[in-house]
Amino acid sequence: MKTVTCTAPVNIAVIKYWGKRDEKLILPLNDSISFTLSQDEMCAKTTVSISPKFSEDQFWLNDKKESLENPRIQNCLKEIRRRASKRKFDGKDENVWSWHVHICSKNNFPTAAGLASSAAGYACLVYALGQVYGVEGDLSPVARQGSGSACRSVHGGLVRWHKGEDDDGADSVARPIAPPGHFPDLQVIICVVSAGQKKTGSTEGMRQTVASSSLMQHRIKVSLPSRIESMMKAIEEKDWPTFCDLTIADSNEMHAVCLDTSPPCVYMTDTSHAVASLIHKYNDLKTDQGDINHKVCYTFDAGPNACIFTPGAVAKEVLPLLLQAFPPPPAQTPKEYVKGIASQPAPLSKELKRLADGCAQSGKLQYLIHTKVGDGPRVLVDPASSLLNTTTGLPN
Ligand code: DP6
């Protein structure tokens, strides 16, 4: 029996993927760019075992036995086995691709919070399968067939998913464009907005947008080509203020095409808008003071949670600003309210306190996650980290 355990990160797009040109192969209408987040706070973990003695493929997700019939998982599995069957082995295990697999996966963050769990999950699954079946090379087009955004989670730092031109999707791949430390000491604050009713999922939402939104035509043909070029330049030149402006503009445009959809896809709530408004006021104040690098940006995926990117020095001010504007419910201690990197909130200036009080909404956020940007998937070598028993191949 061969067993491998891996972890893979969440990624947050700053130029959003929203809309497919091929539903089955998961080929996007546009290029997208993302930041991979640190695995210290959020990651998916997967153990895979293969053995000639297993009689069938089996799958456990978050401690529950699940069916493996899902076509997206099947496509990933088939493609890894196809690649493994083409591999030249030196005598041993040459039929390894035909061995059945046991897969056990867990997320260390709440799936219900809508925090890109499928991206981390599929990236982890494909990376672990690649390791156990001995498949080398670029696995991003395989992860893409699990969930589009998952292809960006196979790399760390800043990543670009090229939409590609080929009908078979061979050139629709994710490539790293800059390491995690490209913008030094970059931090991330995720504001988890209290869960409301379940929204339309990304797959269905983007399908409806492509079918019904005329604004989407403008996004694809006019705004995105120049925004992507400007974003690449801003990244290359480490131009943080421009990076922030473009990130905010793209998030707002994605939510605009969502609203232009029939029926409208409404993902942001009043609290989401209150967070966005606070960030704009903060940025305006700093610009008025002539400090343009003291800037933060927000972006929203297909849900109400804000993801805020901020340089470390600015986070010292932005975190207490958020705590002042969105104080925790009385029952919650500050430690329960702000998860992740431990930080001592600095006292707020009178000016910032006034700004926060103007947007105040007590108890509207469930909690904050304070994290960083980070690297790509990892193999865990410690046998104690395995989710499957290395003798039986069943969950521990
Ligand atoms: C809003 O990758 O979840 O997060 O390919 O249908 O599985 P499928 O969709 P998914 O869509 C993510 C959309 C987004 C923007 C982004 O991550 O680029």
pLDDT at residue number 358: 87
Whether the pLDDT of residue 234 is over 60: the answer is yes
Residue at 391 is within a domain? no
Joined together, the tokens standing for residue 36 give 């991979």
Q: What is the pLDDT of residues 98-116, one digit of tens each?
A: 999 999 999 887 654 556 6
The C-alpha atoms of residue 140 and residue 117 are separated, in whole angstroms, by 17
Q: Lowest-pLDDT range, 44-53, 61-70, 145-154, 338-347?
A: 338-347
Asked whether 144 lines ligand 1 (CB < 6 A), one says: no
- Provide φ and ψ at 350, rounded to 5°: -60, -40
Distance of CA 148 from the midpoint of ligand 1 (Å): 6
Q: Lowest-pLDDT range, 22-36, 125-139, 186-200, 294-308?
A: 186-200
Mean pLDDT of 236-252: 98
The C-alpha atoms of residue 319 and residue 304 are separated, in whole angstroms, by 19
Residue at 395 is within a domain? no
| Average confidence score pLDDT of the chain | 93
Distance of CA 301 from the midpoint of ligand 1 (Å): 8
Number of independent structural domains in the chain: 2
The C-alpha atoms of residue 396 and residue 394 are separated, in whole angstroms, by 6
Asked whether 230 lines ligand 1 (CB < 6 A), one says: no
Whether the pLDDT of residue 94 is over 80: the answer is no
Q: Is 153 helix (H, G, I), strand (E, B) or coil?
A: helix
Q: Lowest-pLDDT range, 118-132, 150-164, 181-195, 213-227?
A: 181-195
Atom from ligand 1 closest to the CA of residue 144 = 5
Share of the chain above pLDDT 90, in %: 81
Task: Kindly state whether residues 330 and 193 are assigned to the same domain.
Answer: yes
Task: Kindly state whether residues 20 and 156 are assigned to the same domain.
Answer: yes
pLDDT at residue number 334: 79
Strand ranges (DSSP E) for the chain?
2-9, 11-15, 20-22, 27-28, 32-36, 43-51, 58-61, 64-66, 100-107, 158-161, 174-178, 186-193, 297-300, 306-311, 338-340, 365-372, 378-380
Confidence of residue 119 (pLDDT cuts 50, 70, 90): very high
Asked whether 250 lines ligand 1 (CB < 6 A), one says: no
Q: 349: which residues sit within 8 A by CB, 6+ positions away?
A: none
Asked whether 49 lines ligand 1 (CB < 6 A), one says: no
Residue at 392 is within a domain? no
Asked whether 13 lines ligand 1 (CB < 6 A), one says: yes
Distance of CA 16 from the midpoint of ligand 1 (Å): 8
Task: Kindly state whether residues 264 and 227 are assigned to the same domain.
Answer: yes
pLDDT at residue number 126: 98
Task: Kindly state whether residues 195 and 171 are assigned to the same domain.
Answer: no
Whether the pLDDT of residue 95 is over 90: the answer is no
The C-alpha atoms of residue 3 and residue 47 are separated, in whole angstroms, by 7
Task: Kindly state whether residues 284 and 344 are assigned to the same domain.
Answer: yes
Sign of CA dihedral 264, 362, 369, 348: positive
Distance of CA 286 from the midpoint of ligand 1 (Å): 33
C-beta separation of 187 from 338 below 8 A? no
Joined together, the tokens standing for residue 247 give 């990130």
Q: Is 48 helix (H, G, I), strand (E, B) or coil?
A: strand
pLDDT at residue number 194: 67
Residue at 396 is within a domain? no
Atom from ligand 1 closest to the CA of residue 11 = 17
Whether the pLDDT of residue 308 is over 90: the answer is yes
Task: Tell me the HSE value of 317 on the side-chain side, using a 13 A CA sphere.
Answer: 19
Asked whether 299 lines ligand 1 (CB < 6 A), one says: no
Q: What is the pLDDT of residues 312-341, one digit of tens each?
A: 999 999 999 999 999 988 888 878 899 999
Share of the chain above pLDDT 70, in %: 95
Task: Kindly state whether residues 43 and 93 are assigned to the same domain.
Answer: yes
Atom from ligand 1 closest to the CA of residue 17 = 18
pLDDT at residue number 362: 78
Task: Kindly state whether residues 167 and 47 are assigned to the same domain.
Answer: yes
Asked whether 26 lines ligand 1 (CB < 6 A), one says: yes
What CATH number does the domain containing 210 carry? 3.30.70.890
What CATH number does the domain containing 53 carry? 3.30.230.10
pLDDT greater at residue 33 or residue 96: 33
Terminal Cα distance for the chain, rounded? 16
Distance of CA 375 from the midpoint of ligand 1 (Å): 20
Q: What is the pLDDT of residues 10-59, one digit of tens each?
A: 999 999 999 999 999 999 999 999 999 999 999 999 999 999 999 999 99
Confidence of residue 170 (pLDDT cuts 50, 70, 90): very high
**Range(s) of the domain holding residue 276:** 186-372
Mean pLDDT of 217-240: 98
The C-alpha atoms of residue 326 and residue 350 are separated, in whole angstroms, by 17
Distance of CA 149 from the midpoint of ligand 1 (Å): 5
pLDDT at residue number 113: 53
pLDDT at residue number 196: 59
**Which of 158, 160, 159, 140 is CA-nearest to residue 150?**
140
Residue at 393 is within a domain? no
Task: Kindly state whether residues 257 and 168 are assigned to the same domain.
Answer: no
Task: Kindly state whether residues 170 and 197 are assigned to the same domain.
Answer: no
The C-alpha atoms of residue 344 and residue 277 are separated, in whole angstroms, by 24
Distance of CA 178 from the midpoint of ligand 1 (Å): 21
Pocket test for ligand 1, best of 17, 161, 219, 305 (most atoms within 8 A of CB): 17
Asked whether 16 lines ligand 1 (CB < 6 A), one says: yes
Task: Kindly state whether residues 194 and 240 are assigned to the same domain.
Answer: yes
Query: Could you tell me where the DSSP H helices lie in 63-116?
Result: 71-85
Task: Kindly state whether residues 168 and 155 are assigned to the same domain.
Answer: yes
Whether the pLDDT of residue 369 is over 60: the answer is yes
The C-alpha atoms of residue 247 and residue 232 are separated, in whole angstroms, by 12
**Which of 150, 132, 111 is CA-nearest to residue 8?**
150
Task: Kindly state whether residues 191 and 327 are assigned to the same domain.
Answer: yes
Atom from ligand 1 closest to the CA of residue 16 = 18
pLDDT at residue number 91: 61
ipTM of the prediction:
0.99
C-beta separation of 31 from 80 below 8 A? no
Residue at 394 is within a domain? no
CA-nearest residue for atom 14, ligand 1, is 301
Whether the pLDDT of residue 208 is over 70: the answer is yes
Asked whether 203 lines ligand 1 (CB < 6 A), one says: yes
Residue at 276 is within a domain? yes
Q: Is 137 helix (H, G, I), strand (E, B) or coil?
A: coil
**Which of 218, 222, 190, 219 is CA-nearest to residue 315?**
190
**Which of 387, 318, 330 is CA-nearest to residue 363?**
330
Asked whether 36 lines ligand 1 (CB < 6 A), one says: no
